[in-house]
Amino acid sequence: MNLLVCISHVPDTTAKINFDAAGTALDATGVQFVINPYDEFSLTKALHLKEAHGGSITVINVGGPETEPTLRKALAIGADQAIRINATPTDAITVAKELKNHIAANAYDLILCGQESIDYNGQQVPAMLAALLNLPFVNACVDLTIDGSAATATGEIDGGHSTYAGALPMVIGGKKGLVEEKDLRIPNMRGIMTARSKPLQVLEATENDAATRAAKFVKPAAKSAVKLVDSVDELVHLLHNEAKAI
């Protein structure tokens, strides 16, 4: 199988988020970047599929040179080659179009994304990509089985699950459940060493037509101090009369 895993380079889950003085972009000072957690489930699923069916795993990112360590980490975890489309995209449709251009010119059997990235939380790129390519798409995917050129995929829907059947190629928006948390792999020393010699190709961007513009970023207002109460009766009283939450 020719597998493509789309990787986002995002601030670490525990990172403190600050914005630049103008309030128009993330202040990356002191921020550790990681593989987007949702993408890790998709990358591990790709490793499982390669182990079961053979083939090759390409990881791809649309970003500047600063994202290469994240791609190298994906190589260290087990991807075979990496592609960076050299751009600093400012919205999802730009990323989706760059990915589409690459995918349309290459024969991938399965395109695995994470359901969303934990930086801009758009949950847009995978569905846009599938629509641009006219390929089937399953979001919030928690189970995927491949049998020849057919796929069965289960996605979470509000309050339940929906299972779909379709033909490859297909686009998946993965999350926990696609593989389990305990199955996620961390790079070992051998992986890190071999990753250095795996190919990382840089392609030039072709799209430049953002549909949205980030005008301002602010941090949410700080919460006022917690009101500690001694009894459940007092809590019920406050929730009803003060917070009007019940």
Partner 1 sequence: MSIIVFVEDWNNQFKKASFEAVSYAKSWAELAGTTVTAVTSSGAADPAALAAYGADRVLTTTLAATPFGMAQQLATITEGSAGMVIAGTSLGRSIAPALAALSGGALSTNTTGTPSSVSPVTVERGAFSSKGIETIELIGGLPMVSFVPNSVGIQERAGEGLVENLDATGTDLLSITEQSIASGKVALPEAEVVVSAGRGLKGPENWTMIEELAAILGAATACSKPVSDIGWRPHSEHVGQTGIQVNPNLYIAIGISGAIQHLAGVSASKTIVVVNTDAEAPFFKAADYGIVGDAFEVVPQLVNAMRAFKAGQ
Among 49, 96, 110, 111, binds partner 1 (CB under 8 A): 96
Among 47, 93, 111, 141, binds partner 1 (CB under 8 A): 93
Among 30, 54, 148, 158, binds partner 1 (CB under 8 A): 158
Contact 9, 72 (CB under 8 A): no
Residue nearer to partner 1 on the CB measure, 198 or 217: 217
**Least distance (Å) between residue 41 CB and partner 1:** 8
DSSP state of 235: H
Of 203-242, binders to partner 1 (CB under 8 A) are 209-220, 223-224, 226-233, 235-236, 238-240
Contact 42, 149 (CB under 8 A): no
Among 2, 19, 53, 68, binds partner 1 (CB under 8 A): 19
Q: What contacts 21, CB < 8 A, 6 or more positions away?
A: none
**Distance in angstroms between the alpha carbons of the first and the last residue of the chain:** 54
Taking contact as CB under 8 A, which single stretch among the options 52-60, 70-78, 122-130, 187-195 is the one that binds partner 1?
122-130
Specify burial of residue 218 (Cβ count, 10 A radius: 0-12, 13-18, 19+): exposed
Among 1, 118, 200, 205, binds partner 1 (CB under 8 A): 118
The CA distance from 114 to 108, in Å, is 17
Of 26-55, binders to partner 1 (CB under 8 A) are 26, 37-38
Contact 5, 59 (CB under 8 A): yes
Among 138, 141, 146, 168, binds partner 1 (CB under 8 A): 138
Kind and range of the H or E run holding 140: strand 137-147
Q: Is there binding between residue 150 and partner 1 (CB under 8 A)?
A: no
Taking contact as CB under 8 A, which single stretch among the options 73-81, 104-112, 170-178, 197-205 is the one that binds partner 1?
170-178
